[in-house]
Structure 1
Amino acid sequence: MSDRAPGPELLGTRLRHLLELLDGDVAALYADLGLPGFRPRYTPVIRVLARTGPASIRDLAAATGVTHSAASQTVAQLTRDQLVTLAPGADARQRIVHLTERAESLLPVLDAEWSATTAAAARFEAELSYPLSRLVDEALDALRRRPMRQRIADVAPQLTAHHPDRDRAPD
């Protein structure tokens, strides 16, 4: 076993661990506030809906900085937890997300938590040699410009070359 700290080869694993630590503690805070099972990913969506009113999933994705798929999954969880409802939009494919009375009743607690978490995150970043939020933004921008799959192909084209079994129709 090496004494060397993990490098970029374990980046995904280490980022997931960091996210588990951050989200785990915020989820524990929600439980302390009497909201067991409330997920940290709910708060940005609920705050957007409280600020803007009903919105499409696409608009929620844009406002919270996640993919449409991630926003859709969060909305599905919020629906199961009876924090939002869905109604048809002008387009048959569009669904409009509305806060429930239950979610609206949580807004004072969520606003206080959001303010405290924002202040705590700023203090956390002040301990770092470089602001994590800025580094995450830079990393996301870099991956938008050139996705990781392409970066891997650049260094190992044989891994992404045409594979006959992969493209073959099932029997």
Structure 2
Amino acid sequence: MPDRPPGPELLGTRLRHLLDLLDGEVATVYADLGLPGFRPRFTPVVRALAADGPASIRALAEATGVTHSAASQTVAQLAKEGLVTLTPGTDARQRIAHLTPRAESLLPVLDAEWAATTAAARRFEAELPYPLSQLIDEALAALGRRSMRQRIAEVAPDLVPPENRSAGGA
């Protein structure tokens, strides 16, 4: 085992570990609140629907800052849990998510948890030399400018076929 801390070569692994620590503890709070199985990724979608009313998957992705695919997966899980229903949108490809009465009944608890988690996150960031949320924003912007695949191609062109070296951002 090396004596030095892991560097950027383990960035993805370490970020997943950090996310596991953050989300795992928040999920434990949900269980403490009598909501076992409620996932931290559900709350931003439920809150967006509560604030803005029924919305398309695309609108939810934009409101919560995730990809369309991630929003679609979360909404599918919420539907499976009986927290949202889906109806067709204006075209056959669009689905509109609606909160169920069960989800609406959870809003006071979710709002209290959200406020507490936000305050705890602010205190957590105050312990760091640089706000993690700002660093994440900057990292996402940098990957939007040049994807990790492009960056790998720059340092090891033989690993990425030439036709794939200019593929879009993250």
TM-score by length of 2: 0.94
RMSD: 1.0
**How many residues matched?**
163
Q: Which amino acid aligns with 1:143?
A: L
Displacement of 1:91: 1.1
Identity, in percent, stands at 79
Report the equivalent of 1:41.
Answer: 41
Which secondary structure state, in structure 1, belongs to the residue aligned with residue 92 of structure 2?
coil
Is 1:133 matched up with 2:146?
Answer: no
Report the equivalent of 2:30.
Answer: 30
1:1-171 correspondence runs (5 A): 1-161=1-161
Residues 80-113 of structure 1 show CA distances to partners (whole Å, capped at 9, x for unaligned) of 0000000011111110000000000000000000
Structure 1, gaps ≥5 residues long: 164-171
Displacement of 1:162: 5.9
Q: Which amino acid aligns with 2:130?
A: Y
Q: Which amino acid aligns with 1:3?
A: D
List structure 1 runs of 4+ shifted beyond 3 angstroms.
none
Which secondary structure state, in structure 1, belongs to the residue aligned with residue 66 of structure 2?
coil
Residues 27-59 of structure 1 show CA distances to partners (whole Å, capped at 9, x for unaligned) of 000000000000000000000000000000000
Q: Which amino acid aligns with 1:11?
A: L
Displacement of 1:2: 1.4
Larger Rg: 1
Displacement of 1:161: 2.3
For residues 22 and 162 of structure 1, the distance between their equivalents in structure 2, rounded to whole angstroms, comes to: 39
Displacement of 1:114: 0.2
